[in-house]
Amino acid sequence: MSLPVIPAPAAATTGDGTFTLTTSSGVTAPPELEAVAARFVAAVELDTGLALAGSTGITAELRPVDDVPPATGLRADGSVSADERYGLEVSEAGVVVWGPTPESLHRGLTSLRQLISAHVHDGTAVLPAARVVDGPRFAWRGLSLDVVRTFHEPDEVRRIIDMLDLYKLNVLHLHLTDDQGWRVEVPSRPLLTEVGATGAIGDRPGGYYTQQELADLVAYAADRFITVVPEIDMPGHTAAVFKAYPELGPQEQRTIELGNGDKLHLGTLDPGRDETWTFVEDVLDAVVPQFPSSVYVHIGGDETWGMSDEDHAAFVEKAAALVRERGKRVVGWQEIARAKLDPADVVQYWLDLDIDKMGENPDAPTPPEDLLPVLVEALRKAKHDAPKALEQGAKLIVSPVTWLYFDRPHADTSADPEQEKARERLGLEFYGAASLEHGISWDPADIVAAEQIAGVEAAIWCETVTSSSDLELLLLPRLSGLAEKAWSHRTTTNWPNYATRLAHQSPTWHNRDWTWLKSVEVNWS
């Protein structure tokens, strides 16, 4: 029997007998695990309504787990001693969860949360006897969240953090700046938020996070062993910068209408101007301290339309050097591989679209005429980025459009008529629609050798997102599939088995008031 847990554990067996949790049950834990246990109890009540008000039945212990290989890749917090491997055993005598670190206990208790949710009824959870030994395949498992094209308030970001937590994802990459707005405070550059933060796509309201709001989000994530990585996108995607400080922009700012209320901006920061670097240093000096748990700063580096290759490489190399001077490591989109990299740099691979096959789908929408040559040039260069990164010793974060861009339309029909209306307008048609089954029908090591992978990260861009429910509808159940690919050691995923495990997730989503695609391909619990 397969346990209703996502991602699939490395090893799991079931046995005879059961153990029943009630409101008189609780967690016995040593002092160093009290905070982890308390968050588990609070989460179970939100997931299921079951308030574990007692102190026995579940035992949390610190002891090693050696039955699963350690994770490969890199962690966003830079830790080399972290260990997320855990054990979980349910017997007639009770539940025992163990692991070598508080983080590992948190992951084990998260699996227990899913078991409780799948088996709770009328205020009790009758858990089947089982034994799980588990740990992650990749160390970096994340989501890149676009808060620019649509601004998401702190409460909504917390909801996303809770979703990541439920599926053992440990990185929230905040895409904080882009053409449509600037979302982070830089006290020495007040116009970035006074002017640059106003607006988003179309008539959507803008906004930004105060330093206190970001500190609260970073702490909320850290309590759940999630690292928040900031992205300051440069030298392109900087129209909001030029709106706030026109003197930093080109003399002529060209744009291409995209037909969706948005524009493609062709201007970039100029690496040959001293004022450019004064600005970049001001931004780094303000932003880096706001994300103390991340050893990485994401410098963007993508889609520098109209910029020469020489200027792009010069900008990336100097921006990277400034990040390193501040004691941080560099991560950027795959285009930074066209510059000289340090082997400690991380390259985020996303452009797996093959320009030579783009014309094979007659139903694919045709890009605007002015945009087509720009896309062709970008895609032809992109084919060489991953090899260049690997030649320089850098590792890749695997984020391919084909599998992990969650702004693709949903291909699955929803059982909810209202969701069908939303499904028709959500996602970029250019990418084509993708089913939930498609989302788990690949392996990260299909992209690049496992030892060259820093981690696995999905991206959600918000061109079509107009509300929190839109955002969540594109994210769920896809986040579960991301976790399956990033955590599980199983290189292939059986769809019927996965769909059965996925069905058991819906009671938690319902109790949490999260929006998810109610695909007719899944027999939801």
Record the tokens describing residue 398, joined without a space.
């695997």
pLDDT tops 60 at residue 121: yes
- What are the backbone angles phi and psi of residue 359, rounded to the nearest 5°? -85, 5
For strands 453-460 and 395-398, give the pairing: parallel
Number of H helices, E strands in the chain: 17, 19
The domain segmentation of the chain, as residue ranges, is 11-134, 140-493
Q: How far apart are CA 326 and CA 151, in angstroms?
A: 28
Whether domain 140-493 has CATH 3.40.50.2000: the reply is no
Token code pair at residue 462? 């918000």
Residues 6+ positions from 102 with CB-CB distance below 8 Å: 32, 33, 35, 36
* Rounded Cα–Cα distance for residues 113 and 46 (Å): 10
Exposure of 138 in the CB half-sphere (CA atoms within 13 A): 32
And the tokens for 7?
């991602």
The dihedrals phi and psi of 480, each to the nearest 5 degrees, come to -65, -40
- What is the DSSP annotation of 83-123? ---EEEEEETTEEEEEESSHHHHHHHHHHHHHHHHHHEETT
Per-residue pLDDT tens for 429-442?
888 999 999 999 99
So what's the pLDDT on residue 379? 76
Q: Give the tens place of pLDDT for each residue, 450-475.
A: 999 999 999 999 999 999 999 999 99
Nearest to 134 by CA among 208, 83, 76, 73: 83
Fold of 11-134: Chitobiase; domain 2 (3.30.379)
The DSSP call for residue 240 is H
Indicate the range of 68-77, 189-198, 347-356, 388-397 predicted with least confidence: 347-356
pLDDT tens, position by position, 42-57:
999 999 999 999 999 9
Active-site annotation holds for 429: no
Q: What is the DSSP letter of 405?
A: B
State the maximum Cα–Cα separation within the chain, in Å, rounded to a whole number: 75
Confidence of residue 251 (pLDDT cuts 50, 70, 90): confident
Is residue 392 exposed (0-12), middle (13-18) or buried (19+ Cβ within 10 Å)? middle
DSSP assignment, residue 409?
P
Catalytic residue among 84, 103, 303, 472: 303
Q: Which of 275, 272, 288 is nearest to 325 (CA)?
A: 288
pTM for the model stands at: 0.96
In sequence order, the 6+-apart residues with CB closer than 8 A to the CB of 503 are: 522, 523, 524, 525
pLDDT tens-place string over residues 136-169: 999 999 999 999 999 999 999 999 999 999 999 9
- Rounded to the nearest integer, the mean pLDDT of the chain is 94
Q: Does residue 361 carry a pLDDT above 50? A: no
pLDDT for 356:
53
Q: Taking Cα atoms as reference points, which of 72, 6, 8 lies closest to residue 397?
A: 72
CA dihedral 80, 84, 85, 91 (to 10 degrees): 160
> Percent of the chain scored above 90 by pLDDT?
88
Residue 377 structure tokens: 């040039």
457 membership: H or E segment, kind and range: strand 453-460
* CA gap 225, 218 in Å, rounded: 10
Q: What angle do CA 10, 518, 406 make, to 5 degrees?
A: 65
The confidence score (pLDDT) of residue 261 equals 65
Output the CA–CA distances (angstroms, integers) from residue 507 to 44, 180, 524, in the order listed.
12, 37, 9
The answer to whether the CB of 5 falls within 8 A of the CB of 12 is yes
Q: What is the pLDDT of residue 252?
A: 74
Residue 360 has pLDDT above 60, yes or no: no
Q: What is the mean pLDDT of residues 393-416?
A: 97
Chain position carrying tokens 């300051």: 232
Per-residue buried b or exposed e for 465-496, using 16+ beta carbons within 10 Å of the residue's own CB: bbebebbbbbbbbbbbbbbbbbbbbbeebeee
